[in-house]
Protein backbone atom coordinates (compact mmCIF):
# COMPACT_ATOMS: atom_id res chain seq x y z
CA UNK A 1 0.00 0.00 0.00
CA UNK A 2 1.03 3.60 -0.55
CA UNK A 3 0.55 6.81 1.36
CA UNK A 4 -1.39 9.72 -0.15
CA UNK A 5 1.73 11.37 -1.59
CA UNK A 6 2.76 8.19 -3.47
CA UNK A 7 -0.66 6.89 -4.53
CA UNK A 8 -1.67 6.88 -8.17
CA UNK A 9 -5.05 8.59 -8.28
CA UNK A 10 -7.54 8.00 -11.09
CA UNK A 11 -6.86 9.74 -14.40
CA UNK A 12 -9.88 11.99 -13.87
CA UNK A 13 -8.29 13.52 -10.77
CA UNK A 14 -5.25 14.38 -12.87
CA UNK A 15 -2.17 14.96 -10.77
CA UNK A 16 -4.32 16.40 -8.00
CA UNK A 17 -3.60 14.92 -4.60
CA UNK A 18 -6.85 14.73 -2.61
CA UNK A 19 -4.98 15.48 0.62
CA UNK A 20 -6.45 13.80 3.68
CA UNK A 21 -9.15 12.15 1.56
CA UNK A 22 -6.45 10.05 -0.10
CA UNK A 23 -6.25 7.71 2.88
CA UNK A 24 -9.46 8.42 4.80
CA UNK A 25 -11.91 5.62 5.61
CA UNK A 26 -14.83 7.93 4.76
CA UNK A 27 -13.62 8.86 1.27
CA UNK A 28 -14.80 7.05 -1.82
CA UNK A 29 -13.27 7.78 -5.23
CA UNK A 30 -15.98 7.76 -7.87
CA UNK A 31 -15.00 7.41 -11.54
CA UNK A 32 -17.50 8.40 -14.22
CA UNK A 33 -17.98 6.68 -17.56
CA UNK A 34 -16.41 9.75 -19.17
CA UNK A 35 -13.16 9.44 -17.24
CA UNK A 36 -13.75 12.10 -14.60
CA UNK A 37 -13.05 11.21 -10.99
CA UNK A 38 -14.47 12.69 -7.80
CA UNK A 39 -13.89 12.10 -4.10
CA UNK A 40 -17.17 11.58 -2.23
CA UNK A 41 -17.27 11.94 1.54
CA UNK A 42 -19.49 9.26 3.04
CA UNK A 43 -19.86 11.34 6.24
CA UNK A 44 -21.94 13.82 4.24
CA UNK A 45 -24.87 11.39 4.33
CA UNK A 46 -25.14 11.54 8.12
CA UNK A 47 -23.53 14.88 9.05
CA UNK A 48 -24.25 18.15 7.24
CA UNK A 49 -20.88 19.62 8.28
CA UNK A 50 -19.24 17.57 5.53
CA UNK A 51 -19.51 18.37 1.83
CA UNK A 52 -20.55 15.48 -0.40
CA UNK A 53 -17.81 16.30 -2.91
CA UNK A 54 -15.17 18.34 -1.04
CA UNK A 55 -12.86 20.77 -2.82
CA UNK A 56 -9.42 19.18 -3.16
CA UNK A 57 -6.92 18.98 -1.62
CA UNK A 58 -8.49 18.61 1.82
CA UNK A 59 -5.89 19.79 4.35
CA UNK A 60 -8.02 19.79 7.53
CA UNK A 61 -11.06 17.72 8.37
CA UNK A 62 -12.85 17.05 11.66
CA UNK A 63 -14.03 13.67 10.36
CA UNK A 64 -10.68 12.37 9.08
CA UNK A 65 -9.92 8.78 10.07
CA UNK A 66 -6.89 7.10 8.54
CA UNK A 67 -7.56 3.93 6.59
CA UNK A 68 -4.66 1.65 7.47
CA UNK A 69 -5.35 -0.56 4.42
CA UNK A 70 -4.82 2.38 2.01
CA UNK A 71 -1.61 3.74 3.49
CA UNK A 72 1.75 2.83 4.95
CA UNK A 73 2.62 3.76 8.53
Q: Following DSSP, what letter does each residue of the chain receive, concatenated?
A: ---TTT----GGGTT---BGGGGBTTEEEEE-TTS-EEEEEGGGGT-TTS-SSPPSSB---TT--B-TTTS--
More confident site: 72 or 24: 24
pLDDT of residue 10: 62
pLDDT in tens, 17-59: 789 998 999 999 888 898 888 899 999 999 999 999 999 899 9
Domain boundaries, the chain: 1-61
Q: Minimum mean pLDDT among 9-13, 20-24, 52-56, 66-70: which range?
A: 9-13
Kindly report the pTM of this predicted structure.
0.73
Amino acid sequence: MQNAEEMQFPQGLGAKNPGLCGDCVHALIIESDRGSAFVRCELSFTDTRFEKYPRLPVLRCAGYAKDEERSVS
